[in-house]
Amino acid sequence: MLRESTNRKSQTQNSLFQILYCLTLVDSVKKNCFFIIYAPYKFENNYVFKKKILIGIVALLGVIQFIKPERNEGEVFGINHISNVITVPADVSKILVVSCNDCHSNQTYYPWYANIQPLAWWLAGHVNDGKKHLNFSEFATYSAKKQNHKMEEIAEMIEKHEMPLGSYTLVHTDAVLNAEQQRILIDWAKANYKPGIE
Ligand code: HEC
């Protein structure tokens, strides 16, 4: 619901970006297919060879559509959510929801192309990897030492501009953190980091 409060302009921008991104993708597929289809002509005009390759590609794409990765569609704000052990002010929460939760919580907001393989596999890889390192929905299950270390990591990752991932903000332009949002996250993470518990 917080997601809906991000302004309309950035949502339109976001959709336009997604369309542009897909057009580039389609273009690259077209170019590569063109090469695969016409490459045999360079050597000999082998129609059967060309047809076999084409059928092979189409069949493979068809088959992999059925191999769907498991979706990350659990509960974000359950009993183990970070807000049960650390105070998460509204402004911080809003940033986490828009910019981090897709990879660091038990729920991902999936774009339409998440239904297409192998894109869905690639997305699932990021989500699983992100959750393994830091999951705000499971934060309360971490030991005090681990929680403390994660707060330190959050400040560090934002300071180094390593999060949110560049491949993500390329498409999710609304997740890009401006200077103020970065400061809010860093201040919050540092305020909750206790150097003693290392
Ligand atoms: C597109 C998915 C994605 C998004 C969005 C994202 N992350 Fe990450 N994050 C990852 C992945 C994958 C890793 C693990 C690999 C790595 O460190 O690059 C990671 C690692 C981290 C780590 C390191 C944890 C550790 O102890 O190793 C922190 C801290 C972190 N992210 C914070 C954030 C914050 C804060 C945001 C939002 C501002 C965010 N991330 C947004 C995918 C994401």
Instruction: Decide if 159 is inside a domain.
Output: yes
| In-domain check, residue 162 | yes
Neighbours of 89 (CB within 10 A): 10
Residue 69 lies in a domain: no
Task: Clarify whether residues 51 and 86 are in a common domain.
Answer: no
What one-letter code names the amino acid at 197?
A: I
| Residue 140 to residue 94: CA distance in whole angstroms | 19
Does a structural domain hold residue 198?
Answer: no
CA nearest ligand 1 atom 27, residue:
133
- For residue 92, being part of any structural domain is answered with yes
Q: Same domain, yes or no, for 59 and 108? A: no
Domain membership of residue 169 (yes or no) is yes
For the record, the structure tokens of 169 come out as 């903000």
DSSP string, 153-165: HHHHHHHTT--S-
The pLDDT value given to residue 1: 44
| Per-residue model confidence (pLDDT) at position 35 | 67
Which protein residue's CA is at the shortest distance from atom 11 of ligand 1? 130
Q: Which pLDDT belongs to residue 52?
A: 83
Side-chain-side CA neighbours of 71 within 13 Å: the count stands at 11
Q: Are residues 97 and 178 located together in one domain of the fold?
A: yes
- Identify whether 42 is part of a domain: yes
Domain boundary residue, one of 11, 36, 64: 64
- Domain with 18 in it: 3-64
Most informative mutation of 108, 146, 163 for ligand 1 (most atoms within 8 A of CB): 163
**92 with 174, same domain?**
yes
Task: Check: pTM over 0.75? Answer yes or no.
Answer: yes
Give the ligand 1 atom nearest the CA of 154. Answer: 29
Per-residue confidence of the chain (198 residues) as pLDDT tens digits?
A: 445 545 556 666 667 767 777 677 677 667 667 666 666 666 556 777 778 889 989 999 999 999 999 999 999 999 999 999 999 999 999 999 999 999 999 999 999 999 999 999 999 999 999 999 999 999 999 999 999 999 999 999 999 999 999 999 998 999 999 999 999 999 999 999 988 765
Buried b (16+ CB within 10 A) or exposed e, 62-72: eeeeeeebeeb
Q: Whose CA is nearest to atom 30 of ligand 1?
A: 154
Name the domain count of the chain.
2
Residue 64 CA to residue 126 CA, distance in Å, equals: 19
Residues contacting ligand 1 via CB (< 6 Å): 99-100, 102-104, 126, 129-130, 133-134, 150, 153-154, 157, 163-165, 168
pLDDT at 19: 74
